[in-house]
Amino acid sequence: MEFEFRKNILLGEYYAAFNMEHAVISRFLEDELGADRTMIEQVLQLLQSAYQDDLTEQVWFGREISLKILEGEVTIFENTLTHANHHDFEDEFELYESESIATCGLDDFESMLMQWQQFTQN
């Protein structure tokens, strides 16, 4: 998983750039967590719970993007995917959906999130 963090010094806004396969993670970091220490800590605590019990699904619900952790894998997804009933339009939604969900390993996600935390707190 390749990524880059940037900061707009004039606006004080933080940005995350990921490849298309992990684009939803950018929006998760920027829109759901931002530089909010409390929110970042909540997700880090959830990751620790997942390390302690990898057979129990851990879930964090955001306003627009949520994540779930099970058996060492993190899935980040737009909340609209859990409500969408678009079976008739599967081909049309395939590209959109590929940018709306991403998976990665627990270790990789934790490492990335800790880097985001450090980046936004400096």
CA distances from 53 to 47, 71, 108 (A): 10, 8, 18
How many Å from the N-terminal Cα to the C-terminal Cα in the chain? 23
Give 30's pLDDT tier (boundaries 50, 70, 90). Answer: very high
Q: Which whole number is the average pLDDT over 4-15?
A: 96
Q: What does each C-alpha distance from 32 to 16, 37, 57, 94 come to in angstroms?
A: 12, 12, 20, 24
Can you give the pLDDT at residue 97? 55
Dihedral (CA of 107, 14, 63, 118) sign: positive
Q: What's the pLDDT tens digit per position in 42-94?
A: 999 999 999 999 899 999 999 999 999 999 999 999 998 765 554 544 555 44
Task: Say how far apart CA 116 and CA 11 lie, in whole Å.
Answer: 18
Q: Is the dihedral of CA 39, 4, 15, 8 positive or negative?
A: positive
At residue 95 the predicted structure's pLDDT band, cuts being 50, 70 and 90, is very low
CA distance linking residue 66 with residue 36, whole number of Å = 16
> What span, in angstroms and rounded, lies between the C-alpha atoms of 13 and 106?
26
Per the model's pLDDT, the better-predicted residue between 101 and 122 turns out to be 101
Domain segments of the chain as ranges: 3-121
